[in-house]
Structure 1
Amino acid sequence: MTKKTWITAAAVLVVSLVVLVVVIAMTGRDEEAGQAAPAPEPTSAPVVSTPAVQPGRVVSDLVGRQVTVVEVPGGQPLGQSEEAGSFPAGTEQVAAPSGLTLQRVPSGTTLMVSTSDGPTDVEEDVMTGYARSPGGAALLTANYIGLGLEMGPVYADFMQRYAPELVAEEPGLLEELRNRGTAAQGQALRAAEGFQAPRWFRFSHCSPEFCTVDAAMPSVADAVGQVDTIDVSATEHPVVRVSVAWTGEQWEIVSGRSLPALEELDRSWVLWI
Structure 2
Amino acid sequence: MACNDDPELPTRRRKPVQSAALPYQRVLPIKPSASAGAGRSTLMKRNVTRNVARLRVAVATALFVSTRPFALPAPPLPTVPDDVRAALAPDDLVLAFKTGELTGNGTKGLVVAVYPGARYVEEPRHGGNNPCKLIVFTDHEGTWKETARSDSAVDCVNNPYMSRPQEMMGIYDLEIAAGTIRWANATHRQHHTFEFTYDGTRKRWIVHAMTQDFPVERSADPDAPLGAAHGEIVSPRDFPVTPMEDLDPDRLWPLLVKHTITTF
Give the TM-score normalised by the residue count of structure 1. 0.29
Question: Which structure: greater helix fraction?
Answer: 1
> Highest CA radius of gyration, 1 or 2?
2
Higher relative contact order (CA 8 A, sep 6+): 1
Question: Which structure: greater strand fraction?
Answer: 2
Give the TM-score normalised by the residue count of structure 2. 0.29
